[in-house]
Structure 1
Amino acid sequence: MTFSLTEAEAADGLAVARRTLELLRGVPEFGERYADAAVPSSLAELAALPPLAKDDLNTALAHLEPAAESGATWLFQSGGSTGAPKVGYAPTGFYMAEVHRHWQPLDRDDVFVNAWGAGRMWGAHFLAAGLADLSGCRVVALGSVTAEEYPEWLGFLADRGVTAIGGTPSVLRLWFAHARAAGIALPSLRKVLWLGEAWQPQLEEDLAAVAPKARRHGMFGSTETWVVGSNSPDCPADTFHPFPHQLVHVGADGLLDFTSLDPAMLNPVLRYRTGDAGELVPCPCGRPGPAMRVLGRRDNVVQVRGLGLHVDELLARVEREPGVTRAQVLVTEQGGRARGVDVLVLGELPDPDALRRELLSATFTLSTAFAHDPENVRVRVVDALISNDRTGKTAGFAVREEL
């Protein structure tokens, strides 16, 4: 089983895949890429098409510049952690009507706190707002807050009797950690929506202390694919049920790729790889049909406070500095959350702080993730990089747990 849909279930949607293929064939840089590709009339023919990586999709979007048939066309950051953001597109509504048709974690009685950040062209806040709008609930569009603001806002949320909150797991951990520190309980909270990174097991302990009635409801997707699938409290945290308009395929190498079957999709998502490995499995929740178990990333992207940091891009910039022979990114975590990012440099670097300031201003992931504590991004000249003691290999990035 390598596809999330059967041949019959995917038959009508393959018309969208054929249209997407024609669009991609019109991209000058892809002249030879699809020259001999058969127009897919079956899942096997679809699987024979070359997969798209992030750089491929960015190349296509730069040429196509798609626009919605009606209403506004929204531009969001679609990868690219250095320099100007790469752009992805979505129509008003952010494809959430089809998601809501199959998944309703919120209802009219909910008071929902949207804690995803709304700035810097990130899409999660807006798609969550679209889902909340379809549910008819009351919405507190809170977004990001500073460390000093948590106690006051938590008191406000407790007084309002909030029943649901949504954010990346890293952001949710901050909310619940501050609630525990301040002795604030959220007894009305029943639902925790999450998207943007893997669920953190430490959240179970947080919820037991702050909101014992709360249960998790997860989404999986990216700014390129938008929401691919969801899970419920009865599903394992790493397992999601794909929506019918999202075709999931597991390649021979174990990497997941995604094809949109939604006629309204603006991004040309045709066998698009996010870098995640996975498998199609029965879900313990008992829901029929294959579920997608996500096994983690296999590319050189590291999650920093819910945002993807493209390590290769960052290191390429650092290693262009005169005198620098090699560099490495060190992410320090505490309780599953990134506390700091150090760029370790071998060689000579006369002014590390000047490079640090440049990286902060030019790297969207770092400037956004550390907007309130930029001092936790550092550039350090070292005598040796961190290596694997057993193999002697030195990776582009390392993660260390801080006690």
Structure 2
Amino acid sequence: MRDVLIIGAGPAGLFAAERLSAKGFSVTVADRMPSPARKFLMAGRGGLNLTHGENLDRFLKRYREAEPFLAPLIRDFPPQALRDWCRGLGEETFVGSSGRVFPTSMKASPLLRAWLRRLDQNGVELLPRRTWTGFGADGTVQLQGADGETSVFPARAVLLALGGASWPRLGSNATWVPLLENEGIHVHRFQPANCGFQIAWSAFLKDRFAGSPLKRIALHHQGQQVAGEAVLSAQGIEGGAVYALSAELREALNRDGSATLTIDLRPDMSEDDLARKLARPRGKQSAATFLKKVLKLKPEEQALLREAGALPAEPLDLARRIKAVPLTCLAPYAIDRAISSAGGIALSELIDGLMLAKRPGLFAAGEMLDWEAPTGGYLLQACFATGARAAEGIAAHLAQSGDK
């Protein structure tokens, strides 16, 4: 019998394994994939945005409704602690111009290799291709191997770190939900987060401009503004600025059935400035040529203007259209295309140390808990912080039960 079984070899599970094995506990990590931390490695393809360098109080507000739950965990393991941990593995970090924190190598693989070496030195056992299928009659965990055979795995404490429901091909497919619901544990429905949104484009825009970037724009929704970039797709609109508003857009869709997003194509110019430029004599120029010359509007931007109807003839009315192109979002992209997910185990099901109140000795951490975060390093920071807190809870539980 091992001291601890951790199911899920993502950042939360592996970090808990490191903390617990460093305290002398015997730890096994099981995962249904053939190798660990696949989503972590995928994140590394974009440079591995580990955390963010902004003021901690502002940082914590990014978690919205989950701030009261996550704040004490992240204060115990803040962004600087995560950077120090990376340094301890031989990977220095730096703060980019946007405030985001990256490893100097801009890759996940060197960090993961060093991390796995440390876990091996600590005696952590990794079991690949093992899928959790529930509990046996005596409460022991059941794991199914690649051969389809199911075996029980006795452990004094179990940590579930199975991820959410985004990018299921990398491991987190949420098949664990009914297993916990059968135990009477409430799980909020998973929904896409940090995702694009479907829009009913005209055939012209869809055929001509799918894949076109929109740079130096600002998006508005219900009084919130986000500056950045987006990308037009055949399905709708996506990209960093869209992701930053995805939670609010999703909530509006859940509530009203649709959500209006407006695009400011020239956020650095006022309506009056635009109107003055648009009031210049056009002569024999076409509207497209005129807009390209006086405002440098690209073809895809002009196509967006026409999605809202015929171009207004009055300069001020056209300026207002340019400053607020209305788009009707019909639905979020499918969850398997989302960067992350919202939903998961209800936080009310947890007690101190992230143990499930209805099942003593069973803990949970990471994205399978009901919190969400924007991109920018907030996702990984919270995963590490919940892994650290779960390790503390497990150590305290085993000490109280006299097992260590």
In the superposition, the TM-score normalised over structure 2's length comes to 0.23
Pick the structure with more helix per residue. Answer: 2
Specify which structure has the bigger relative contact order, considering alpha-carbon pairs within 8 angstroms and separated by 6 or more residues.
Answer: 2
Larger Cα-atom Rg: 2
